[in-house]
Amino acid sequence: MEDFLLNLNEPQREAVTTTDGPLMIIAGAGSGKTRVLTYRIAYLLKKGIDPFNIIALTFTNKAAREMRERIEKVAGTEARNLWMGTFHSIFAKILRIEADKLGYTSHFTIYDTEDSKSVIKAVLKELNLDDKVYKPSMILNRISNAKNNLITAAMYAQNEEVTAYDISSGKPQMSKIYAAYEMKCFKSGAMDFDDLLLKTYILFSKFPSALNKYQHKFKYILVDEYQDTNHCQFMIVKKLAAVYRNICVVGDDSQSIYSFRGATIKNILTFESEYPELKVIKLEQNYRSTQNIVNASDSIIKRNKDQISKKIWTQNNEGEKIKVLKAINDNEEGKFVAQTIFEMRMSKNLQNNNFAILYRTNAQSRSFEEALRKMNIPYKVYGGMSFYQRKEIKDFISYLRFISNQNDEEALKRIINYPMRGIGQTTIDRIIYLSGVYDIPLWQVVENANTFTELKSASSKVVDFAMMIKSFLVLKDKNNVYELSAYVAKVTGLLKILHEDKTIEGISRYENIVSLLNSIKEFAEDDTNEQEKTLENYLQDIALLTDTDKDETDFDKVSLMTIHSAKGLEFPVVFVGGIEENLFPSQMSLSNRKDLEEERRLFYVALTRAKEKVILSYATSRFKFGTLMPCEPSRFLDEIDKEFIENDKFYNIVNDRDDAYTSQSKNSSFSKFKNSILSKPENKPLPNPIENFIPENITDLTENMRIEHIRFGKGTVTKVEGLGENIKASVLFDDFGEKQLVIKFAKIRKI
Tens of pLDDT, residues 282-305:
999 999 999 999 999 999 999 999
The predicted model gives 101-111 an average pLDDT of 95
Q: Is 426 a catalytic residue?
A: no
Convert the pLDDT of each residue in 457-485 to its tens digit.
888 999 999 999 999 999 998 888 999 99
Instruction: Give 672-715 as a DSSP string.
Output: GGTT-TTSPPP-PPPPPPPTT------S---TT-EEEETTTEEE
pLDDT band at 591 (very low <50, low <70, confident <90, very high): confident
With residue 719 as reference, give the H or E element that holds it: strand 713-721
The predicted model gives 554-567 an average pLDDT of 89
**Whole-number pLDDT of residue 668:** 33
**Whole-number pLDDT of residue 647:** 67
**Helical spans, DSSP H, in 159-302:** 160-168, 174-187, 193-206, 208-217, 231-240, 266-269, 271-274, 291-301
Convert the pLDDT of each residue in 203-247 to its tens digit.
999 999 999 999 999 999 999 999 999 999 999 999 999 999 999
- Please name the amino acid found at residue 365: S
Q: Is 609 a catalytic residue?
A: yes
Catalytic one of 112, 115, 224, 395: 224
**From 189-203, 340-354, 682-696, the region with the lowest mean pLDDT:** 682-696
Q: Is 227 a catalytic residue?
A: no
Residue 355 near residue 689, CB atoms below 8 Å: no
Q: What is the mean pLDDT of the chain?
A: 87
Convert the pLDDT of each residue in 82-97 to its tens digit.
999 999 999 999 999 9
Residue 167 has pLDDT above 80, yes or no: yes
Catalytic one of 33, 35, 68, 360: 33
Provide the percentage of residues in the chain whose pLDDT is more than 70.
91
Compare 740 and 610 and report the one with higher pLDDT: 610
Catalytic one of 225, 252, 333, 598: 225
DSSP three-state, residue 513: helix
Residue 728 has pLDDT above 90, yes or no: no
Q: Is 657 a catalytic residue?
A: no
Instruction: Give the separation between CA 729 and CA 232, rounded to whole angstroms.
Output: 57
Strand 54-58 to strand 571-576: parallel, antiparallel, or no bridges (unpaired)? unpaired
Phi, psi of 22 (to 5 degrees): -70, 135
| Closest C-alpha to 275, from 226, 210, 329 | 226
- Using CB atoms within 10 A of its CB, is residue 667 exposed (0-12), middle (13-18) or buried (19+)? exposed
Catalytic one of 70, 282, 609, 747: 609
**Whole-number pLDDT of residue 740:** 76
Q: Is 34 a catalytic residue?
A: yes
Our separate counts of H helices and E strands in the chain read: 30, 23
Catalytic one of 38, 60, 255, 307: 255
Residue 104 near residue 98, CB atoms below 8 Å: no
Convert the pLDDT of each residue in 511-527 to its tens digit.
889 888 988 888 888 76
Q: Is 600 a catalytic residue?
A: no
pTM of full prediction above 0.85: no
Instruction: Give the separation between CA 388 and CA 622, rounded to whole angstroms.
Output: 33
Count of CB atoms situated within 10 Å of the CB of 295: 19
**Whole-number pLDDT of residue 695:** 87
The predicted model gives 652-656 an average pLDDT of 45
Convert the pLDDT of each residue in 394-449 to its tens digit.
999 999 999 999 999 999 999 999 999 999 999 999 999 999 888 899 999 999 99
Phi, psi of 742 (to 5 degrees): -90, 115
**Whole-number pLDDT of residue 61:** 82
DSSP three-state, residue 588: helix
| Closest C-alpha to 339, from 370, 382, 293 | 370
**Whole-number pLDDT of residue 90:** 95
Catalytic one of 17, 34, 546, 718: 34
**Helical spans, DSSP H, in 458-534:** 459-476, 481-491, 494-500, 504-525
Strand 323-327 to strand 651-652: parallel, antiparallel, or no bridges (unpaired)? parallel
